Amino acid sequence: MTFFLAGDTSLIISWEASPFVRFALINNIMIPYLVAIVLFYFGASYAVLRVLSGTIYYKFGVLLIVTMSITHLIGGMSWYFRNSLYSNGVLMMSVLSIVIAFVAFGFSLLREYNPAPPQ
pLDDT single digits (tens) 40-51: 999 999 999 999
116 has pLDDT over 70: no
Identify the residue with better confidence: 26 or 1: 26
Question: Measured between alpha carbons, how far is residue 47 from residues 8, 35, 37, 40 in Å?
Answer: 36, 18, 15, 10
All residues at 6 or more sequence positions from 111 whose CB lies less than 8 Å from its CB, including other chains: 56
Q: Which amino acid type is present at position 57?
A: Y
Q: Assess contact for 45 and 65: CB atoms under 8 A.
A: yes
pTM of the shown model: 0.75
Choose the most confident range, by mean pLDDT, from 7-21, 44-58, 72-86, 97-111: 44-58
The set of long-range contacts for 105-109, using a CB threshold of 8 Å and a minimum separation of 24, is 107/57, 107/60, 108/57
Domain extent listing, the chain? 2-113
- Alpha-carbon gap, residue 19 to 15, rounded angstroms: 10
Nearest to 91 by CA among 83, 2, 101: 83
Q: What is the pLDDT of residue 82?
A: 84
